[in-house]
Structure 1
Amino acid sequence: MNRPIRLAINGYGRIGRCVLRALLESSYRDAFRVVAINEPAADIPAMAYLTRFDSTHGVFPGSVEEGEGVLYINGQPIAVSHARLPQEAGWAAHDIDILLECSGRFGTRGQLQAFLDAGCPRVLVSHPANSALDVDYTVVPGINDQGLTGRERLVSNASCTTNAIVPVLHELGQAFGVEHAFLTTLHSVMNDQPMIDGYHHTDLRRTRSAMQSIVPVSTGLAQGVERLLPGLTGKVQAKAIRVPILNVSAIDMMLTLSHNASAEDINALMQSASQRHPALIAYSDRPHASVDFNHDPHSAIIDGSQTRSNGRGIANVFVWFDNEWGFANRMLDAACTWSQRLHPRADVLAADLSVGA
């Protein structure tokens, strides 16, 4: 057996911790090993505590121990640093294959290049780059992950919303054609919002209490969709609304289709997609609430009970997704595919995520 692919995590917040935990709860756990974590805002006791106990995903089903400059997760040592700049974290000492950049603080090529210069051979970014030119590739598993060659050094994993909606739009476009899509994201609160009103953000809406109001915010989802599905360029509009829940989000899709499709036609397509790509898309027509999808690893769960159509090309589709857990699993899928390109004989288990194959 080949040695495990060596991963490091920069930024041990919501996504960083979910990625580590998703790895240890997945079939990838023997293929990857997290060898280093850099977290500038917390000390090791706090990191250990929030690994053990998570208000959203529950108690960690394993062991977490603290050491001097190290966390022991299920007995495996992970070196810990607290650097604020990439060049201060000592990455070169850990023989890293891929760094997972989960802090959300670095979006330009110049900022990300600092990780390469500091000894990280490749960086997988947990958010969209500022522009397509700031990374070598933007990947959405199941859509274009087969385009990874292994020559890339900077790769973006797009956003949780892009990962949720692009596979669905791809399926609908292949079957019925999409003339226009208006996407409204209902997103759980995020850490750029305060618990009580405060001078917290230049966007004045985000100065308001996250848990007391529904808050409209800006979104780059339309650009993210068009970047991955260029055939939809100029056909997508989007808005986002933060809602006062801790986790699980939804996207309400209003569509103009090229070919008429009934609600039954659309649901049949989505059921078929969930059977063809069970790791990526799920389908249900039961009466759901958002909490039903907490800790769900799929990119998208189609709520068939909410599908609507006027039979004349106008349709409405509703998509649930766990914006933390689903996205963390997609980061692992992307790292898996990238690793296979780097080490074709590596013992990495690949999920069959391909949509439209």
Structure 2
Amino acid sequence: MSHPRPYKIALNGYGRIGRCVLRALHERGDLAVQVVALNDLADRDSIEYLTRFDSTHGRFPGEVRVSGDCLQINGQAIQVLREAEPEGVDWRGLDIDLLLECSGQYTTREQGLRFVHAGVPRVLFSQPMASEEAVDATLVYGVNQDSLPSDARLVSNASCTTNCSVPLLKLLNEVIGLEYVSITTIHSAMNDQPVIDAYHHADLRRTRSAFQSVIPVSTGLARGIERLLPELAGRIQAKAIRVPTVNVSALDITLQTARDTSADEVNALLRAAAEGDYKGLLDYTELPHASCDFNHDPHSAIVDGSQTRVSGPRLVNLLVWFDNEWGFANRMLDVAQYWLAQTTD
């Protein structure tokens, strides 16, 4: 017998991704899931305020208010909890089907299983984990969700950059063939950087003001791609820089292909994918865009075909935009809906 609808989910951590997940759920209206609880150390008034007003995504398109220990969204009650440890929440009593772990603080299998031992049946993590063995699966929606084990309890939603790059690389490798890949992530500032220079991070570059410099940072993107596309293992390099914008990032991707190609062929392939198998996940444009045009864009990747270059003729360069908050939050919901749809009573 099918599981009763709607499915009940909870959010652990209510920062940028947690709030975007809740908002995307209400803006989309096409998912059979309902948030019944959220756990965050912030006070309820701050939670209500930052749900109603967002500097990046604007005002919440609905009614938001606090009522007792609940956050009311369009009349729907979401219990607000303030527990620092997974064991502090009565997850069994909440009777949830899935927890979306959006704090980013739990990266090992041992840490993730703390939620399971505390009564959570399934956990979807909003970040790549420390090792491939830390979870039962790492999913990029649209690429490998069909590989989800039926008994999975811990699943990673990978990263925003992995969700952006893997569909493109998979497609190009299958059709044209890839010898080597080099990616530079041009990423908006994040909350692990200070507004002004401060003792803020073990990475000394991240002690510098986020809004005064372009700042190189470390990235695990190459490792994340290799987990999803093992056929490219050992042939990917990646680096990242943070830039003084609040949202929307880009990947500058350089590819050495296995055969001769052209910008027209590459663009035609990506355009067809955006209109076909990857519709809703991948988009394609040749308009003269700036990054802010993609704020609140739900796609995992938007190929800017006007910037495609081919040299050699086996050296391909692509510029791919993505909203690092909104696109990723939508993919979390897609994975959550898919996972829950596989469950039965």
Query: Shorter-chain TM-score: what band?
Result: over 0.9
Deviation at 1:92, TM superposition (A): 1.6
Q: Which residue of the partner structure matches residue 78 of structure 1?
A: 78
What does the per-residue CA deviation read over 1:59-99, in whole Å, with 9 as the maximum and x for residues that have no partner?
00001110221101110000111111110122221101000
State the alpha-carbon separation in 2 of the partners of residues 175 and 96 from structure 1.
Answer: 42
State the alpha-carbon separation in 2 of the partners of residues 150 and 139 from structure 1.
Answer: 14
Deviation at 1:149, TM superposition (A): 3.3
Deviation at 1:3, TM superposition (A): 2.1
Of the structure 1 ranges 311-320 and 236-245, higher mean CA displacement relative to structure 2 is found in 311-320
Q: Which residue of the partner structure matches residue 329 of structure 1?
A: 330
Q: Which residue of the partner structure matches residue 130 of structure 2?
A: 130
Q: Gapped runs of 5+ residues in structure 2?
A: none
The verdict on how the C-alpha distance between 1:68 and 1:27 changes in structure 2, with shifts beyond 3 A counting, is closer
1:184–1:241: 8 Å Cα contact kept in structure 2? yes
State the alpha-carbon separation in 2 of the partners of residues 325 and 150 from structure 1.
Answer: 28
State the alpha-carbon separation in 2 of the partners of residues 55 and 36 from structure 1.
Answer: 24
Q: Which residue of the partner structure matches residue 353 of structure 1?
A: none
1:148–1:341: 8 Å Cα contact kept in structure 2? no
Structure 1 residue 309 corresponds to structure 2 residue 293 = no
Deviation at 1:336, TM superposition (A): 1.1
Letter paired with 1:278: K
State the alpha-carbon separation in 1 of the partners of residues 158 and 193 from structure 2.
Answer: 21
- Secondary structure in 2 aligned to 1:194? coil
Q: Which residue of the partner structure matches residue 194 of structure 2?
A: 194
State the alpha-carbon separation in 1 of the partners of residues 67 and 300 from structure 2.
Answer: 36
Give TM-score, length-normalised by structure 2. Answer: 0.98
State the alpha-carbon separation in 2 of the partners of residues 278 and 144 from structure 1.
Answer: 16
What does the per-residue CA deviation read over 1:30-51, in whole Å, with 9 as the maximum and x for residues that have no partner?
x1000110001x1000000000
What does the per-residue CA deviation read over 1:264-319, in whole Å, with 9 as the maximum and x for residues that have no partner?
11000010010112111000011110000000000000000000002521110110
Q: Which residue of the partner structure matches residue 299 of structure 2?
A: 298
Q: Which residue of the partner structure matches residue 25 of structure 2?
A: 23
Of the structure 1 ranges 213-222 and 168-177, higher mean CA displacement relative to structure 2 is found in 168-177
1:12–1:39: 8 Å Cα contact kept in structure 2? yes
1:8–1:37: 8 Å Cα contact kept in structure 2? yes
Q: Which residue of the partner structure matches residue 140 of structure 1?
A: 140
Give TM-score, length-normalised by structure 1. Answer: 0.94
What does the per-residue CA deviation read over 1:185-223, in whole Å, with 9 as the maximum and x for residues that have no partner?
000011000000000000000000001100000000000
Written as runs of structure 1 = structure 2, the 5 A alignment for 1:250-265 is: 250-265=250-265
Q: Which residue of the partner structure matches residue 166 of structure 2?
A: 166
Identity of aligned residues (%): 57
- Secondary structure in 2 aligned to 1:112? helix
What does the per-residue CA deviation read over 1:105-148, in whole Å, with 9 as the maximum and x for residues that have no partner?
00001111111111110000000010000111100001100111
State the alpha-carbon separation in 2 of the partners of residues 200 and 178 from structure 1.
Answer: 39
Letter paired with 2:295: N
1:149–1:341: 8 Å Cα contact kept in structure 2? no
Letter paired with 2:211: M
Written as runs of structure 1 = structure 2, the 5 A alignment for 1:263-282 is: 263-276=263-276, 277-282=278-283
State the alpha-carbon separation in 2 of the partners of residues 74 and 261 from structure 1.
Answer: 52
- Secondary structure in 1 aligned to 2:342? helix
Runs (4+) of structure 1 exceeding 3 A deviation are: none
Deviation at 1:150, TM superposition (A): 3.0
Q: Which residue of the partner structure matches residue 37 of structure 2?
A: 36
State the alpha-carbon separation in 2 of the partners of residues 175 and 112 from structure 1.
Answer: 38
Q: Which residue of the partner structure matches residue 91 of structure 1?
A: 91
State the alpha-carbon separation in 2 of the partners of residues 261 and 340 from structure 1.
Answer: 41
Q: Which residue of the partner structure matches residue 214 of structure 1?
A: 214
2:183–2:253: 8 Å Cα contact kept in structure 1? yes
State the alpha-carbon separation in 2 of the partners of residues 164 and 139 from structure 1.
Answer: 12
State the alpha-carbon separation in 2 of the partners of residues 313 and 219 from structure 1.
Answer: 26
State the alpha-carbon separation in 2 of the partners of residues 91 and 57 from structure 1.
Answer: 30
- Secondary structure in 1 aligned to 2:237? strand
Q: Which residue of the partner structure matches residue 283 of structure 1?
A: 284
- Secondary structure in 2 aligned to 1:342? coil
